[in-house]
Structure 1
Amino acid sequence: MINRRTLIGAASATLIPGHAWGQSTAPVRTPAGALQGTTEGGMRVFRGICYGRAERFRAPVPVPAQTGIQRADAFGPVAPQSGGRYGAQSEDCLFLNIWTADARPTARKPVMLYIHGGAYSGGSVTDPLNDGQVLAARGDVVVVTVNHRLNAFGYLYLARLDPRFADSGNLGQLDLILALRWVRDNIAAFGGDPNRVMVFGQSGGGAKIATMMGMPAAKGLFHRAATMSGQQVTASGPLNATARTRAYLGKLGVRENDLDALLAMPREKLIEGLAAVDPILGGGVYFGPVLDMKWLTRHPFWPDAIPQSNAIPMLLGNTHDETRAFVAPGSAKMRDLGWDNIAERIAPELRIDILPEWVIAEYRARFPNWSPEQVFYDATTCGRSWRGQVIEAEERAKAGAPGWVYQLDFGSRTDPRRGAFHSLDIALVFGTLGAEGSQTGTAADARAASKAMQDGFVAFARTGDPNHAGLPRWPRYGLDKRATMVFDVRSRIENDPRKWQRELFARVPYIQPGT
């Protein structure tokens, strides 16, 4: 008999080619019910644990404790989104997964909870790069990965149009907060310490973490935070968010005074609406957390680092060549790039209001031997992707909050033109060097960079400080030296790397894309 679980298992099994799904083991008994996972590579693995339910455009609610033994041996469906690379999709997507070596309450291991990237519109922790087995085994930690609602299902701001949907602009955030509450209440049964929960996330995952640091509902649910190329200095303003909602509704042909039509539409139709043109930025409509004055009552890092989270140790990182992931070296924009057209092409990629001709002239004077391509990628990385992290690190340093900063210099081994591009650090931290989608390679150099990153993250999860015997001393980030760990084949500390670029772009206000 083919049932929902069979279909989900079949879909998820295709995500990790050659993955050896393990044998069932004795169930783990938790306050949420008894859960039966599998054993794989000496690890206890629990997939597809439902942590909440939600109606469309409404806040999630906890799942009542289950009777009997619930199977946890296959990924749950992923959040609805464009494309189908991650497997079966459903609005019923509030599922988490756990890897642990010792599912006993007395083990009290650090917990590392990962939030995936994909901005706020796509992605899933069912991606093979996010498999927690290697990290859990190497670090002797409990790894948790979480899916939640995305795009219009998680961030369509309807509150100003219909009071029934007062929570709609931050539903994806509320899903994550509910997942953290589930972890607080149940993770001890899997050998985890509910008082040592570290959240870490790449790109949009890091931005979601930065946002949660400013949400009162998340207070006390995590005790360390690490963001990997993911910042959220400001949230979407409610007026801009409403303008985007109107553009989205217009694409679907829905009147703003009749949102029942939106409730009745199949999810596939709502995904089609994501092609609406963003009235602020152009391109596809942006979704993200909203300053709704209910769940999010101030910006996360403006005008300062929110005091609520300044006691939480924080690790902030970026890659050296972020934008080589967004604008491919072989793309039309780069193919005939020269000094005669670089200003025109770089302007929209900087995402800040700065004179592009001046930026190019400054770069050429500073780096006379650089090619147009080198200038393009460095300027867009420093002006667009790195800037938010600098601001967050500075604001925490001003507040005396414990923080450490890293930069990934280790570059792609399968396509060297891409360098240390946005998302390359995922495989290094998880240790999934040979997984589908990884570009690190599996040679000794990749293993060395991965070891340095994994051990730093694990030390941070364990103690709230990333220092360990295998790394040079990693000082806290301060405005005097701006100490930065540069992860590479041989990792090292540099003080104020890219100082010139930091000061160049600090001449103009930073505007968080989408806000």
Structure 2
Amino acid sequence: MTDPFSRRVLLRTGAAAVAAPWLPARAADAPWYTQTVGPVVEVETEHGRLRGGHGRGALAFKGIPYAGSVSGKNRFKAPPPVTPWTGVRDATRLGPPALQPAGTSYGEHEPAYSEDCLVLNVWTPAVKDGGKRPVMVFCHGGGFESGSGGHRVQDGGRLASTYDVVVVTMNHRLGLLGYLYLGELGGAQYADSGNQGMLDIVASLNWVKQNIATFGGDPGNVFVFGESGGGLKTCTLMAMPTAHGLFHKAGIQSGTMLRGYSKDMATENARRVLAGLDLGPQDVGKLADVPADKLLAIQLAGSKGPLGTPTKGWLASHPNPPSPLYDDFGPGDWGPVVDGTVLPRAPFAPDATPLSADMPLLIGNARDEATLFEMGNPDFFRMDDAALKARAHQVLGPLTDRVLAEYEKTRPKVTAVERGIAIETAIRMGNHTVIVADRKSQQPAPVYRYRNDYESNHPIAGTDWTLRAGHATDIAITFYNYDIPDLQGNGPGLAEASKAMSGYFASFARSGVPSAAGQPAWPRYDTARRAVMLLNSQCRVADDPDGEERAFWQSSAKAG
């Protein structure tokens, strides 16, 4: 049976900057949006000298190693330190994305996928000028299995130059290579396994602490944020002792993680991987010699269900499973493991991790998340009430009639497709956003909650629909990259919406309170008022938007 909810996915250089000749032309390359151009600028880091350039109004340094090799004997372990280099290392082009399924990532002129992918990118208005700019560190999306910090709409040049901030993105291990847990099978040498991809991100934050002052940033004012899978990673970092103190504010966009993998389930996944390679638990050490492409093939096979246990459609395959119906990873998935050490407890279950009690949080999701997930399923956008009920039943089971009745009551004048989008958005993203915001708001630090309402006019092939306020349509908007063609489309009010959203995020990075020129003040979120900023070309505050539906889901969770 077909799964009805399948997913588809000029500036100041500073007195100490060293201006060099323009970058040499590469005859084979036409200009591109995120190209780094001359004059070149050199800086000295803790590990060696770098040569960067200019891009989208800022200085750009790309493909910088923040840790050592994680292949071979270093697989499934915490990343080793960077090996210092001599001479001047070119940092004008992106480094390799993590090993992942073909056809993902979307950085411009990125090199091939690589197991050794621990590189980061920095954009800044100036270097070595004594600046104390807020640092905005972005975790890319793609769940825990795909994506890249080099995606072109995540280019930080315009954000850095417009708001006088430093922007950092990074690549890190993904999928099986990032989250295979061998702690129960491989002994002490694999004690950090299951969370090695997250430890990569921690290593990047340590690099920021050591080096970002050279790039005009303040290591004492770091904002970590991420969209989709990047939001899940941000949740995880908030509960990791090794990340504590390395960042000071958090942002979660359309992706929350309450629990994570249990050691038992993660160990069972490891047994299946070994069996798929004709290895036993006693052969864990042999994994260092398996070709990386073969490990990726095993990962991809597992995501389709043949490693021994059937999947549960998108409930199992999606890294942010729905609440309240299902709240854990499924067989064949990859993600952080609550191992009691690297990740001592779940980030937001049964409550918000106390480790980040004093950390302000900016959190939200898009109004129409589901449109992106159904982009490859034109039939979804043609369904009537009967088709909606049939689809919903596969996911909701005995709760189907109650859910449909509720949405017929709260949205009586909309089509079955629109109700389907609203229901799927709630169970994929919306409900978890409320849970995390509610639980975090019980702590001392402020929470600010939003909903992205800007409607993209990006067409959905095979239908007369557009993405509307769909999943990931807000990434380019947040980075003030609305002019780079992507999911945000090119509709009216786009520049204004991007100015508002990027302004709110940059001001939050600076002060812990979001504000934007010409837009309303943003109230702190609590469970009494439930104030939510509705982000658009003209933003507005709404108290408990869609509150009746929120209350319904919360009561259903208690009843279940």
The TM-score with structure 2 as length reference comes to 0.84
Indicate which of 229, 233, 236 corresponds to 1:211: 236
Q: Tell me, in whole angstroms, the C-alpha distance in 1 between the residues paired with 2:29 and 2:276.
A: 35
Q: Is 1:49 the counterpart of 2:64 in the alignment? A: yes
* Residue number in structure 1 paired with 2:6: none
Q: Is 1:233 the counterpart of 2:258 in the alignment? A: yes
Assess if the C-alpha contact under 8 Å between 1:349 and 1:384 holds in 2.
Answer: no
* Residue number in structure 1 paired with 2:511: 463
Report deviation, 1:329.
7.5
Assess if the C-alpha contact under 8 Å between 1:51 and 1:96 holds in 2.
Answer: yes
Superposed, 1:196-207 pairs within 5 Å as 196-207=221-232
Indicate which of 54, 69, 94 corresponds to 1:39: 54
Q: Is 1:264 the counterpart of 2:308 in the alignment? A: no
* Residue number in structure 2 paired with 1:344: 390
Report deviation, 1:75.
1.0
What is the DSSP-based 3-state SS (H/G/I as helix, E as strand, rest coil) of the residue aligned with 1:61?
coil
The alpha-carbon distance between structure 1 residues 294 and 13, as it changes in their structure 2 partners (threshold 3 A), is farther
The alpha-carbon distance between structure 1 residues 137 and 349, as it changes in their structure 2 partners (threshold 3 A), is farther
Spell out, residue by residue over 1:418-458, the C-alpha distance to the aligned partner (whole angstroms, 9 max, x if none).
211110110101122232433331x5500010010010011
What is the DSSP-based 3-state SS (H/G/I as helix, E as strand, rest coil) of the residue aligned with 2:195?
helix
Q: Tell me, in whole angstroms, the C-alpha distance in 1 between the residues paired with 2:214 and 2:129.
A: 5
- Segments of structure 2 that go 5 or more residues without pairing to the other structure are 1-24, 318-331, 460-464
Report deviation, 1:42.
4.2
Which amino acid letter does the alignment assign opposite residue 161 of structure 2? A
* Residue number in structure 2 paired with 1:302: 349
The alpha-carbon distance between structure 1 residues 437 and 41, as it changes in their structure 2 partners (threshold 3 A), is closer
Q: Is 1:374 the counterpart of 2:418 in the alignment? A: yes
* Residue number in structure 2 paired with 1:80: 99
Superposed, 1:339-488 pairs within 5 Å as 339-349=385-395, 355-415=399-459, 416-441=465-490, 445-488=493-536
The TM-score with structure 1 as length reference comes to 0.91
Q: Tell me, in whole angstroms, the C-alpha distance in 1 between the residues paired with 2:496 and 2:516.
A: 15
The alpha-carbon distance between structure 1 residues 248 and 507, as it changes in their structure 2 partners (threshold 3 A), is farther
The alpha-carbon distance between structure 1 residues 85 and 329, as it changes in their structure 2 partners (threshold 3 A), is closer
* Residue number in structure 1 paired with 2:117: 93
Q: Tell me, in whole angstroms, the C-alpha distance in 2 between the residues paired with 1:63 and 1:438.
A: 36
Q: Tell me, in whole angstroms, the C-alpha distance in 2 between the residues paired with 1:356 and 1:452.
A: 38
The alpha-carbon distance between structure 1 residues 18 and 424, as it changes in their structure 2 partners (threshold 3 A), is closer
Assess if the C-alpha contact under 8 Å between 2:42 and 2:51 holds in 1.
Answer: yes
Q: Tell me, in whole angstroms, the C-alpha distance in 1 between the residues paired with 2:35 and 2:439.
A: 46
| Percent sequence identity over aligned pairs | 37
Assess if the C-alpha contact under 8 Å between 2:36 and 2:93 holds in 1.
Answer: no
Report deviation, 1:84.
4.1
Q: Tell me, in whole angstroms, the C-alpha distance in 2 between the residues paired with 1:359 and 1:467.
A: 37
Indicate which of 175, 188, 191 corresponds to 2:200: 175
Assess if the C-alpha contact under 8 Å between 1:344 and 1:356 holds in 2.
Answer: no
What is the DSSP-based 3-state SS (H/G/I as helix, E as strand, rest coil) of the residue aligned with 2:457?
coil
What is the DSSP-based 3-state SS (H/G/I as helix, E as strand, rest coil) of the residue aligned with 1:220?
coil
Indicate which of 158, 167, 191 corresponds to 1:134: 158
Indicate which of 108, 111, 131 corresponds to 2:132: 108
Q: Is 1:122 the counterpart of 2:146 in the alignment? A: yes
What is the DSSP-based 3-state SS (H/G/I as helix, E as strand, rest coil) of the residue aligned with 2:404?
helix
- Segments of structure 1 that go 5 or more residues without pairing to the other structure are 1-8, 511-515
What is the DSSP-based 3-state SS (H/G/I as helix, E as strand, rest coil) of the residue aligned with 2:373?
coil
The alpha-carbon distance between structure 1 residues 446 and 468, as it changes in their structure 2 partners (threshold 3 A), is closer
Report deviation, 1:281.
4.0
What is the DSSP-based 3-state SS (H/G/I as helix, E as strand, rest coil) of the residue aligned with 2:194?
helix
Q: Tell me, in whole angstroms, the C-alpha distance in 1 between the residues paired with 2:505 and 2:409.
A: 39
* Residue number in structure 2 paired with 1:249: 274
Report deviation, 1:383.
2.3
| Corresponding residue pairs, total | 496
* Residue number in structure 2 paired with 1:186: 211
Report deviation, 1:24.
5.0
The alpha-carbon distance between structure 1 residues 175 and 120, as it changes in their structure 2 partners (threshold 3 A), is same
Q: Tell me, in whole angstroms, the C-alpha distance in 2 between the residues paired with 1:218 and 1:382.
A: 30
Which amino acid letter does the alignment assign opposite residue 374 of structure 2? V
Report deviation, 1:26.
3.7
Larger CA deviation: 142-151 vs 164-173: 164-173
Spell out, residue by residue over 1:157-203, the C-alpha distance to the aligned partner (whole angstroms, 9 max, x if none).
12111113221100111000000000001000000011111111100
CA RMSD in angstroms, aligned pairs only = 2.2
